[in-house]
């Protein structure tokens, strides 16, 4: 009797619905997976053997290799050579324009916006600001109470620690020994479990 037959016999003894289930492989390769597999493997091997990046790209993706490699955007020749010089000239000599004139040239829309400040503070606001609470009276009238100076807090913390240690010790010492390799133990304990729970 094979191991599969033993399992089927045990499932039948337990009256499990799994005994009637058909055995079939649930994992399958996609349709047509092996049709192009050899070509794909050869492309990868050729790509590994290629000496240049262009050859590797031709082997891995012919479509990508046909796309133009020319950059769509470019910087004029010598742009960065004269950039620093132009910036220094503009900073040192200036353009001779006021900020309003420069803003009118750069962005006429921004120049049309009102230059009125939306939020303002009244004159002398902070100099005349009076505190809502008299600090001298409040400092002498209030009493600072420390929560850690109370004895009940210490006792409560000690009780929590002792309770935690006792609970962990109780759970650790009253652990039942389970031996799933012992067939008699498994057979005895499986009788108390319903067939629906096993399924």
What are the pLDDT digits (tens) for 149-158?
667 778 888 9
Instruction: Give me the torsion for CA of 53, 59, 63, 64, rounded to 10°.
Output: -20
Residue 41 has which token pair?
């493997």
The predicted pLDDT at position 148 comes to 61
DSSP string, 89-133: HHHHH--S--HHHHHHHH-HHHHHS----SS---TTTTTT---SS
Region label for 96, one of left (φ > 0), alpha (ψ between -120 and 50) or beta (otherwise): left
What residues contact 104, with CB distance under 8 A and at least 6 apart?
A: 111
Task: Show the tokens assigned to 176.
Answer: 């039942």
Residue pair 11/23 in contact by the 8 Å Cβ criterion: no
Q: What is the pLDDT of residues 50-74, one digit of tens each?
A: 888 888 888 888 888 888 888 888 8
Angle 51-57-62 from CA coordinates, rounded to 5°: 135
The pLDDT assigned to 119 comes to: 81
The end-to-end CA distance of the chain, in Å, is 24
d(CA 138, CA 144): 12
Q: How confident is the model at residue 123 (pLDDT cuts 50, 70, 90)?
A: confident
Task: Give the residue-averaged pLDDT of 101-127.
Answer: 80
Confidence of residue 167 (pLDDT cuts 50, 70, 90): very high
pLDDT at 47: 82
Q: What is the mean pLDDT of the chain?
A: 79
- Provide the residue ranges of all domains of the chain, joining segments of one domain with +: 150-192
* Residues composing the chain: 199
pLDDT score for 59: 80
For residue 191, pLDDT beyond 70: yes
């Amino acid at each position: 009797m094979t191991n599969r037959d033993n399992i089927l016999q045990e499932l039948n003894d337990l009256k499990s619905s799994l005994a009637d289930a058909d055995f079939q492989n649930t994992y399958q390769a996609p349709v047509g997976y092996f049709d192009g597999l050899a070509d794909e493997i050869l492309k990868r091997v050729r790509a590994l053997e290629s000496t240049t990046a262009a050859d590797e790209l031709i082997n891995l993706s012919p479509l990508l290799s046909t796309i133009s490699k020319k950059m769509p955007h470019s910087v004029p020749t010598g742009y960065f050579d004269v950039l620093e010089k132009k910036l220094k000239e503009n900073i040192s000599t200036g353009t001779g324009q006021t900020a309003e004139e420069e803003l009118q040239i750069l962005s006429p829309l921004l120049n049309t916006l009102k230059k009125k400040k939306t939020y303002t503070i009244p004159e002398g606001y902070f100099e005349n600001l009076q505190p809502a609470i008299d600090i001298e009276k409040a400092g002498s009238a209030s009493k600072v109470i420390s929560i850690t100076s109370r004895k009940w807090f210490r006792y409560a913390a000690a009780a929590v620690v002792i309770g935690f240690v006792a609970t962990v010790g109780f759970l650790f010492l009253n652990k039942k020994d389970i031996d799933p390799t012992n067939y008699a133990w498994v057979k005895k304990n499986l009788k108390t479990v319903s067939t629906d729970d096993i399924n």
